[in-house]
Chains A and B, each alone.
Chain A
Amino acid sequence: MKETITIKNLIKTFKLSKKQMHINRTKDSLKVAVNDISFATYPGEIFGLLGPNGAGKTTTLRCIATLIKPDSGEIIVDGHPWEDDVQIKKKIAFLTNELKLEEQFTPNYLYDYFSSFHEIAEDDVQKRKEMLFKKFGIDQFSEVKIGELSTGMKQKISIVVSLVHNPDIIIFDEPTNGLDVITAKTVTDYLMELRNEGKTIIISTHIMNLVEKICDRVGIIIDGKLSLCDRVENVLKKYPNTDIEGVFFKLYSEVEHNEYI
């Protein structure tokens, strides 16, 4: 099957400032955030990157989204190498909690603004906006300034504006973080709907049962390394009488951890 994202031997390090070295109680000025990770994704699947905070999930996703440059390794997104960043950004939706929207604008304005960067016919923009706004319950707030909306509503608007161009690859970092159960369900249901349409979805999360619930395949990252990468049912078969959380703790206990906090 065609690979939608291919990652080979990805390495990303960060230079630590003296303050950060002190906080991390290390004398090493380099922190290896992602250490030789390789995996691929395919159409019509939800791939879950599971790992504790600081394991390297977000860094991996930011590299794929071309926000940061890998030190070495290869990233190919829908046939485009990492260097072809404009083409990659046309093909993907990328969303993390760190991405915020300008609070003085309305959802309507921002939807049209983000759409304008993609070659979409005006009629299609309006039709898709109507559909997405309705699905996420934004329609009644379309003319309210973002700053005046609740956290959950802001998150839903962020999701919607990241999907204006109906991309084939969707990368969501902690998609349900900070959302109430109802909103979280709307999001996960929609992700499954997109998977059924044949799209590739990568999510990163530290919520174990979310992986079991919606992911087809899972990659467990611990201390920047990919400890496991397989179909969820295969993982559960391989480690009988336990769930994903149990598998995670087993793998975590096997790894010698750095003393980072």
Chain B
Amino acid sequence: MNIFRIVKKELDKIFKFPRQILTTLVLPGLLIFLIYTFLGVGVDASMKEEADAITIIHVINSPESLDSVYESVGTLKIELKKSTVEELEDLKDLVIAKEIHAILLYDENFDDLIQTDILPNVKILYDSSATNAYLVMERAQIVVAMQRGIIYEELNIDPNIFNIIPEKVEPEEKGSAVMLAMILPMLLMSFIFASALSTGSDAIAGEKERGTLATLLLLPIKRSHIIIGKTISTSTITIISALSSFLGIMASWPFAKSIFAVDGDINFNYGAGEIIGLVVMLLLIALLASSILLIISTLAKNIKEATTLAMPIYIAAIIVPIITMFQSGEVSSKLVYFIPLYNTILGLKAIISLNFDLVNFLLILGSTLVYIALFIFILIKMFKSEKVLYSK
């Protein structure tokens, strides 16, 4: 019976308070639902877009046995074009530039060789760092498979007598940079916001809870100075804490390749421009996260309430990078560089994937600084409201 009383009181702590029900029972499920739904929608949309696009494959030393395939692949959203071996280097550049998708490089006199003892080769050259690389490879292999069928039917030769060799055309650092660009923004955003969540909640709501806020307000300084001081200190702790998590991830990289789906070593071939850009972008995100979470912290009466109120912002900070994970670098309009939070993720992604663009960077920098200034202005206004500061 006594055990039951203890159990009942512990359960009452949650079930008798709607706010507790929300944070303990509803939010975790909602969080998981939102993350997976957005992830699924993001992946589906990007896969559909890629599947609908025509894959352009150039064929060098095109053998006669492939001739009839040219027309029949049209319905499979594949376009084959004949090219010469002299064009190979230019074509590789076009693959990297994403203007064409792959090159099929046949050995010379391919059809003659398959009737001898020599095993001829067909190389599939493609950009393995492209988001649609798996689809391009699949379609190139369809072409070769159709050719095998023809060889088997018309020449009655065992179709397994030639080699298919996949070959990457992109420089090595680009491949790992693109992979990093998919994963890192999400990791960095979640580290920064998780850290800002705990630091920001404590900075003002914690002071309210502990009764130290009024002591702070009695200092002979302007309230705006208190706010700016709090924003800078919260951002500093946020960035140091995020950096610690980031270093942890980097240190674990050699042991955790399978988790991050990365093959080979990561090459950090970043120049000074990228590193400065990355640091500026991280500082901006830390300041933005801190100012938003300080507003929430000011509104809340205690740390627990601040954490609950901040949860939707934290969810957004994790979900937005997940959506952008599967997007290619191109954006439809410059206006997206003005969308708070989203623009900084695009900025991070561009820098990490070595697609740094100064104009876009400046747009992100300028608009984010305006948002930070606006949030600090709101905070200063809030610090003049007795209802907000002394609510119990």
Contact = CB atoms under 8 A, between A and B. Distances in A.
A156 to B, nearest CB: 15
Chain A interface size band reads 20 to 34
Interface string A83-127: 000110110001010111111000000000010011000000000
B219 A89 contact: yes
Contacts of A55: none
A98 to B, nearest CB: 6
Contact of B220 (A15, A69, A89, A98): A89
Contacts of A98: 211, 214
Nearest to A20: B392
A65 B390 CA distance: 15
B387 A99 contact: no
B220 A90 contact: yes
Contacts of B217: 67
B210 interface: yes
A176 to B, nearest CB: 19
Interface string B363-392: 000000000000000000000001100100
A68 B218 CA distance: 11
A89 B216 CA distance: 11
9 contacts: A65-B218, A67-B217, A68-B390, A86-B222, A98-B211, A99-B211, A101-B215, A102-B210, A117-B219
A94 B220 CA distance: 12
Contact of B386 (A68, A114, A118): A68
Interface string A193-210: 000000000000000000
Given A98-B211, A99-B214, 6 more contacts: A67-B217, A67-B218, A90-B220, A99-B212, A101-B212, A102-B210
A118 B221 CA distance: 10
Interface majority SS on A: helix, strand, loop or mixed? loop
A72 to B, nearest CB: 15
Interface string A65-85: 101110000000000000000
B237 to A, nearest CB: 14
A86 B220 contact: yes
Contact of A89 (B210, B218, B386, B387): B218
B387 A15 contact: yes
Interface in A12-31: 15
B386 A103 contact: no
Contacts of B214: 67, 96, 98-99
Interface string B98-121: 000000000000000000000000
Contacts of B211: 98-100
Contacts of A118: 220
A100 B221 contact: no
Question: Which of B210, B214, B221, B390 has most chain A Cβ within 10 Å?
Answer: B214
A31 to B, nearest CB: 13
CB-CB nearest 3 A-B residue pairs: A100-B211, A89-B220, A90-B220
A153 B147 CA distance: 90
Nearest to A14: B386
Given A15-B387, A68-B386, A69-B386, A100 B210 contact: yes
Contacts of B221: 86, 117
A111 to B, nearest CB: 13
B386 A100 contact: no
A86 B221 CA distance: 6
Contacts of A96: 214
